[in-house]
Amino acid sequence: MENNCNIIKDLIPLYAEGLASEDSAKLVETHVAGCADCAAELEKVKTDAAAAPEIADSAVPLKVVNKALRQRRARIAALCALGVFLVLTVLFSASVRRNYIPYSVSGSDTDPEAGNVISVEQLPDGALHIEVSEEATRYDIEYMPSDDDPAGAKTDAVVYAWSTKFGTLTGDQVEDIYISADKGVTTVDFCDCANGGELIRVYGEDRDGGGIVLKRLVLGYYAILSAISLAVFGLLWLILRKKRAGKVMRYLFFMPASYLLAHFLIMGKDAMTYAAAESFGFIAAAFAAIYAIIVISLRMRDDAREAQ
């Protein structure tokens, strides 16, 4: 009988909460009908439950707790992923940074073009065959209408050649370059970007007065605009910090701050480049990762404060 009472007492809390199965409920009802001790235990459980409704109402539902834990784990995972993405972006940007090949001529009396960083030869079909230094792992050719031919039948070409740490590591090397005769190229210049962007005529008639390619300044303008925005949003955040708008200013403040940090990670202190689009692409990727990390961190901080 005592063993039966122990079993019934284990089932009584489930029965009182309505969680017991139909068979278990019948077992409890049958037993308490003939057992005063278990009937008293059942009455006590019901009385305690009825006497503490406020405790039951104030208990945090398990679903809410689980949702908060899942959200926190997701945010931590996102922070880790964004951190890895940022590191890889910075490392890859450094590995493909352009180290322009300087112009040099180290020929001899028997072979004047030996050691030239670039040589151009016209083929019988009118195409141009261009060879660049073995140090180069990448190149680019920019075409533009010739100043000597307003009609546009003639074209000037500017060759850029550079190496990258990634290209050197993988053993990349620029193969022979061919320019079709259809392009009508009559002059070829080599951009000595390693020495100020001077254009050196390597094929065609000598230029009058020389030429130069200037670095793009657009990244510097973006950095200046970000610095001004940082100061403005920072001041507004300070003024409105105790108001609802202050929270918006906080997020706006970290946008230019993230861009400036991204610019520094990708470009260092240099704000000028010959490859503005490529550099800006890396800066934009780093900016997105940095700003996302800051936003997620701020939300986690706000949630932790509210929980306290």
Count of structural domains, the chain: 3
pLDDT > 70: percent of the chain: 86
Q: Indicate if 177 and 131 belong to the same structural domain.
A: yes
Write out the residue range of the structural domain in which residue 275 sits: 217-307
Residues 153 and 168 grouped into a single domain: yes
Q: Are residues 176 and 251 in the same domain?
A: no
Domain assignment present for residue 106? The answer is no
Query: What tokens does 306 get?
Result: 């509210």
Are residues 25 and 7 part of one domain? yes
What pLDDT is attached to residue 115?
Answer: 54
Burial letters 119-155, b for 16+ CB under 10 A, else e: bbeeeeeeebebbbbebbbbbeeeeeebeeeeeeebb
Band of pLDDT at residue 141, cut at 50, 70 and 90: very high
Nearest to 256 by CA among 289, 281, 291, 286: 291
- Whether 172 maps to a domain, the answer reads yes
- 69 in a domain, yes or no? no
**Residues 183/126, Cβ–Cβ less than 8 Å:** no
Structural domain includes residue 66: no
**Position of tokens 């290209």?**
167
In a domain, 83, yes or no: no
Separation CA 242–CA 262 (nearest Å): 29
At residue 82 the predicted structure's pLDDT band, cuts being 50, 70 and 90, is very high
In a domain, 268, yes or no: yes
d(CA 291, CA 250): 12
- Tell me the C-alpha distance between 240 and 8, whole Å: 63
- Does the residue 237 lie in any domain? yes
> Which tens digit of pLDDT belongs to each residue from 32-76?
888 888 888 888 887 776 655 554 454 455 566 677 788 889 999
Same domain, 226 and 303: yes
**pTM of the complete model:** 0.72
Q: Does one domain contain both 178 and 143?
A: yes
